[in-house]
Amino acid sequence: MSAHLPDAAPANWVDRRAPVRLRPWLKLGRFDRPAGIWLLMLPGWQGVALAAAMGGGWPDPVLLAKVFAGAALMRAAGCAYNDIVDRDIDAKVARTAARPVASGQISVRQAWGFTVGCSLLALLILLTLPPLAIALGAGSLALVAAYPFMKRITWWPQAWLGLTFNWGALLGFAAATGRIETPALLLYAGGVFWTLGYDTIYAIQDLEDDALAGVKSSARRLGASAPSAVAGFYAVSFALTLAAAWTAALSPWFLIPALIAAAHLAWQAARVRVNDPRGALRLFKSNSLTGLIVFAAFVAGR
């Protein structure tokens, strides 16, 4: 039977309602932990909303649905690929030892099949978008493919995750407009620093196990200064997001939800503790709300 994973909510729908035979597959795609889907999807939604606001319109709901479906599929594919590459490391880390590939519930060959299947379904969605968006989607594969190896070669794999997870900001903007402009690039840069902050918080959970396994992370590199560094990353992220709104000539209504998002980021940074892994997980998950508020800010700024 598929074991409950430590970073999934105890009452998650996979463990409560999904058929037993499907549970390892759903856990392979992290469908028991939807926070990652939101964090991959929301930069895309923000890019769509930013493009719409620049034209004085509302985000296209059909395009938002495509971004959501594509993000869910590519997150599942990326997680399966990550588990294939990291299966030996995962087996040594308490939080990840029960993952389907590391624990032997799903074979490497089966996991590859899952990865390819999800990727092909995402490709079908991508092909309905403008040419530039298709090219950006294809280009993201290089970032996805390299990510699992970053923890072996750099102390800053969280920065690479930022480059990868926020690619949707460019893709969403291009899907809505057929081009890339300065506001989209600033939004992307702001997203990279946002991810660098929240994934440093996430990495606090594995400080001891990562040290034993020889895995590098920004949390290990920063040590006791991680909380102040997270505050700095978030400050840069907010400044770049403001710059994106300013260069897009959005209305002042953008500022009200944007300041709420800033307050939420400040609240997170003030509560980061390197000796509190459970608290780190809660703070990490709260970033879905942050991203949603920023999306609302762009909608309000039309």
Whether pLDDT at 4 is above 70: no
Confirm whether 4 is domain-assigned: no
Domain extent, residue 94, equals 13-47+54-300
Q: Are 302 and 57 in contact (CB under 8 A)?
A: yes
Whether pLDDT at 12 is above 80: no
For position 89, what pLDDT does the model report?
84
For position 17, what pLDDT does the model report?
83
Whether pLDDT at 202 is above 70: yes
Confirm whether 222 is domain-assigned: yes
- Tens-digit pLDDT profile for residues 59-96: 999 999 999 999 999 999 999 999 999 898 888 887 78
Whether pLDDT at 19 is above 80: yes
Helix (H) or strand (E) holding 289: helix 287-300
The CATH number of residue 58's host domain is 1.10.357.140
Distances (CA, A) of 62 to 52, 73, 175, 289, 300: 13, 17, 11, 22, 19
For position 210, what pLDDT does the model report?
82
Q: CA angle, 144 as apex, 138 and 148 as ends, to 5°?
A: 160
Confirm whether 107 is domain-assigned: yes
> What would the DSSP string read from start to end of 67-97?
HHHHHHHHHHHHHHHHHHHTHHHHTTSTTTT
Q: Could you give the percent of the chain with pLDDT greater than 90?
A: 79
For position 5, what pLDDT does the model report?
59
Whether pLDDT at 37 is above 60: yes
Confirm whether 123 is domain-assigned: yes
User: Whole-angstrom Cα distance, residue 150 to residue 161?
Assistant: 9
What is the number of structural domains in the chain? Answer: 1
Q: Are 262 and 254 in contact (CB under 8 A)?
A: no
- pLDDT class of 181 with cuts at 50, 70, 90: very high
Does residue 113 sit in helix, strand or coil?
helix
Q: Could you give the percent of the chain with pLDDT greater than 70?
A: 96
- What CA dihedral angle connects 49, 51, 52 and 54, to 10 degrees? 120
Q: Are 273 and 284 in contact (CB under 8 A)?
A: no
Whether pLDDT at 16 is above 70: yes
- Tens-digit pLDDT profile for residues 93-106: 877 888 899 999 99
For position 133, what pLDDT does the model report?
97
> What would the DSSP string read from start to end of 165-213?
HTHHHHHHHHHHHSS--HHHHHHHHHHHHHHHHHHHHHHGGGHHHHHHH
Confirm whether 21 is domain-assigned: yes
Q: Which two tokens stand for residue 17?
A: 């309602």
- pLDDT class of 7 with cuts at 50, 70, 90: low
Confirm whether 83 is domain-assigned: yes
Confirm whether 286 is domain-assigned: yes
Confirm whether 166 is domain-assigned: yes
Whether pLDDT at 1 is above 60: no
Whether pLDDT at 264 is above 60: yes
Q: Average model confidence (pLDDT) for the chain?
A: 93
